[in-house]
């Protein structure tokens, strides 16, 4: 199966978790095509035709990103707005993504308990990502269970231990790879 990773991270040089996940994916045995939006389109001008062709060629579409302000980075939102167009992704003739699998793979900085009604974020992560689920349904895609990991931010001397974040990133990558391998088995 063709696995397309749409990766959004505005400052990969400062990333511990997402950079480790991408590094692990690049060295895995699975067939991945990785599109780092922030490296490809630093001006936010998307090559819509190229991106749509990548989506057409993919079986599995993975959105990889850090969870920013209860959503995705601006580059991924911009990509969604420009690429998932009427009569391509939805609408009377918009069936180009029909039947494709969508997996959200993202890192969350805060701990699990902060994403509860009594936590400081008040909502669960699943509640906060509902717009992605609805987008998949509108585009007739198979919305698969999201893969996300908490406590994935590292701020030296302030928050978390780098090696522990890297270990969680390794486990996160393995969960994603396993999910994709299971899709391959179910063909």
User: Which domains are seen in the chain, by residue range?
Assistant: 3-185 (3.40.50.360)
Contact between 174 and 132 (Cβ < 8 Å): no
Residue position matching structure tokens 């231990």: 161
Burial readout 72-110 (b: 16 or more C-beta within 10 A, e: otherwise): bbebbebbbebbbeeebbbeeebebbeebbbbbbbbbbb
Query: Quick one: which of 164, 131, 168, 162 has its CA closest to 146?
Result: 131
Residue with more model confidence, 184 or 64: 64
State the pLDDT at residue 187. 60
pLDDT at residue 43, as a whole number: 87
138 near 97, Cβ under 8 Å? Answer: no
Express each pLDDT in 75-129 by its tens digit.
999 999 999 999 999 999 999 999 999 999 999 999 999 999 999 999 999 999 9
């Amino acid at each position: 199966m063709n696995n397309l990773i749409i990766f959004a991270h505005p400052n990969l040089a400062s990333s511990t978790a997402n950079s480790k996940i991408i590094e692990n994916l690049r060295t895995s045995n699975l067939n991945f095509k990785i599109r780092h939006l922030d490296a490809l389109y630093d001006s936010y001008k998307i090559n819509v035709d190229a991106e749509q062709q990548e989506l057409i060629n993919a079986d599995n579409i993975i959105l990889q990103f850090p969870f920013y302000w209860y959503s995705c980075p601006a580059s991924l939102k911009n990509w969604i707005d420009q690429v998932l167009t009427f009569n391509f992704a939805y609408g009377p003739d918009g069936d180009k993504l029909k039947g494709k699998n969508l997996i959200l793979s993202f890192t969350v900085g805060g701990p699990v308990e902060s994403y509860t009604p009594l936590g400081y974020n008040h909502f669960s992560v699943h509640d906060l990502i509902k717009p992605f689920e609805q987008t998949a349904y509108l585009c007739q895609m198979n919305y698969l269970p999201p893969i996300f990991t908490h406590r994935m931010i590292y701020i030296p001397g302030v928050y978390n231990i780098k090696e522990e974040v890297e270990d969680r990133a390794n486990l996160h990558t393995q969960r994603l790879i396993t999910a994709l391998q299971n899709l391959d088995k179910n063909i």
